[in-house]
Amino acid sequence: MLTATPRAPRSRAPRRTRFGALVPLLTLSALALALWAGAPAYAQDAAADPKAAAEQGKSDDAFFKSLIDPRQAIWMDSRGTIAGTGDPNGFVGEAFKAGRGPHPEALELSELPVDQYGLVDWARSIREGYITPRHTLDPDKQDKPDAKPFGLALLIPTKSESMPNVIFPHDIHTMWLTCNNCHPEIFAMNGKLNNKVMTMPKIASGEYCGRCHNRIAFPLSDCLRCHVLDKDQPVPEGVKAP
């Protein structure tokens, strides 16, 4: 006679409801809403005490980073293209690498203002009086008009419908350079002609502005230092249109 051994009833794991996955999402949404509601007060605090606001910003940044698995975080390089995942120190653009790299000791100790990459902002250094370069080494030419910076500002309309136009300041460039450093070999003495043939791919390949920028002057990835005038804004007084 065959007999069957009765099996013990299986214990069932509690069923997950379809709403269980929403809990983390709702929690994060509530957190975002709370931070959004407090934004005006934070902005007021930032205006009152910039140093405290900077420290608060670092704290907030660290908090949000703690919510992300660093192995899954996507980092972009200085051109805005995906550079990799994980530690951002391993996947940064060339400008960031240069800024974080070694610098001459005199620059490190000078406390000159730096840009977003950590590179010396020479234009700001001049405008804010950190340095006052001589316009010529010849003492007999110091007071002559042609030894002073050339103050002409030129409008360079961009070919893109969305990218702001460029205002080219001769003054900051002629702090370091003379006219024949750029004209006529690099730029024609005709603004309309230059605007027709000058493109960002050419500049990025080392022509026109790229003769200095991305080499000894600030990187091309710092777009808004040149592209300063929105398409719908009028040309400022004193700026010459082509």
Interatomic CA distance for residues 172 and 221, integer angstroms:
20
Residue 215 CB contacts under 8 Å (≥ 6 apart), including other chains: 206
Q: What is the pLDDT of residue 108?
A: 80
What is the DSSP annotation of 142-206?
Answer: TTSGGGSPP--EEEE--SSSSSPEEEEEHHHHTTT--GGGTTTTTS-S-HHHHHHH--HHHHHTT
Whether residue 56 sits in one domain with residue 84? yes
What's 163's domain CATH number? 3.90.10.10
Q: What is the pLDDT of residues 184-237, one digit of tens each?
A: 999 999 989 999 999 998 998 899 999 999 888 998 888 899 999 999 999 999
Tokens encoding 58:
């670092």
Whether residue 147 sits in one domain with residue 107? no
Number of structural domains in the chain = 3
pTM of the model as a whole: 0.59
Q: What is the pLDDT of residue 99?
A: 82
Residue 152 CB contacts under 8 Å (≥ 6 apart), including other chains: 170, 171, 240
Whether residue 219 sits in one domain with residue 191? yes
Sites in the chain below the pLDDT cut of 50: 1-28, 30-44, 46, 88, 90-92
Give residue 110's domain range. Answer: 97-127
Q: What is the pLDDT of residue 110?
A: 87
Q: What is the pLDDT of residue 142?
A: 73
Q: What is the pLDDT of residue 146?
A: 63
Q: What is the pLDDT of residue 85?
A: 55
Assess if residue 197 is contained within a domain. Answer: yes
Burial 24-40 (b: 16+ CB within 10 A, else e): eeeeeeeeeeeeeeeee
Whether residue 157 sits in one domain with residue 84? no
